[in-house]
Amino acid sequence: NDCFVCFCVLVFERQPEYRGVVWKLLLGYLPTNQARRKQTLQRKRAEYKDAMAQHYDIDDDSRTVQEQETLRQVLVDVPRTAPEIPLFRNERIKRALGRLLYIWAMRHPASSYVQGINDLATPLFAVFLSDYYNGQDVLDGNVMVVISEERLEEVEADVYWCLTNILAGIQDHYTADQPGVQR
């Protein structure tokens, strides 16, 4: 296992076009068995689409008061996410970020959404978007002009699942009773 981590670190440093795959492997989203990766991505991306239909693409009238408050809180935080970086000022990225944060909150009611979770998603968006552009820097936001909706949906789903895996390990620190990471 240590050899695997060392290998991932070397690839991460020297071959930026593989950073997304390395993140997905280290976060447990992709299986180490390469033959199973395509099927895993298809399944997880489909599951995320189902979660969008169930939790996000619904009438506001069908949301509870708590769900409406969670959505409001997410939508207030999204514009505050890395505003100095052009990529995160892009409206398509803001919509994707808001959607995945709200869905995460609905699927994790014990924690729900708290400020700071949005910041954990930013490096994932940047790295996974750059995967589609041979590892080039995407922070200037120029890729948003050319990326298809389908690809952006794939990135959104991948960010959601990797964020879910990150938060699974630190979720106790992201609750209403614990505002932020605590020792």
Residues 6+ apart with CB under 8 A from 170: 181
Residues 30-49: tens digit of each pLDDT:
998 999 999 999 999 999 99
Given a cut of 60, whether residue 178 has pLDDT beyond it is: no
**pTM of the entire predicted model:** 0.86
- At 182, the pLDDT band (50, 70, 90 cuts) reads very low
CB atoms within 10 A of CB 105: 21
- At 19, the pLDDT band (50, 70, 90 cuts) reads confident
Given a cut of 80, whether residue 6 has pLDDT beyond it is: no
Q: What is the 3 state secondary structure string of the chain?
A: CHHHHHHHHHHHHHCHHHHHHHHHHHCCCCCCCHHHHHHHHHHHHHHHHHHHHHHHCCCHHHCCHHHHHHHHHHHHHHHHCCCCCHHHHCHHHHHHHHHHHHHHHHHCCCCCCCCCHHHHHHHHHHHHHHHCCCCCCCCCCHHHHCCCHHHHHHHHHHHHHHHHHHHHHHHHHEECCEECCCC
Given a cut of 50, whether residue 181 has pLDDT beyond it is: no
Interval 21-26 mean pLDDT: 90
Residues 146-157: tens digit of each pLDDT:
999 999 999 999
- At 14, the pLDDT band (50, 70, 90 cuts) reads low
CB atoms within 10 A of CB 28: 15
Select the more confidently predicted residue: 30 or 6. 30
Tokens of 178: 């614990």
Tokens of 54: 């169930």
Mean pLDDT in the chain?
88
Q: Are 37 and 31 in contact (CB under 8 A)?
A: yes
- At 69, the pLDDT band (50, 70, 90 cuts) reads very high
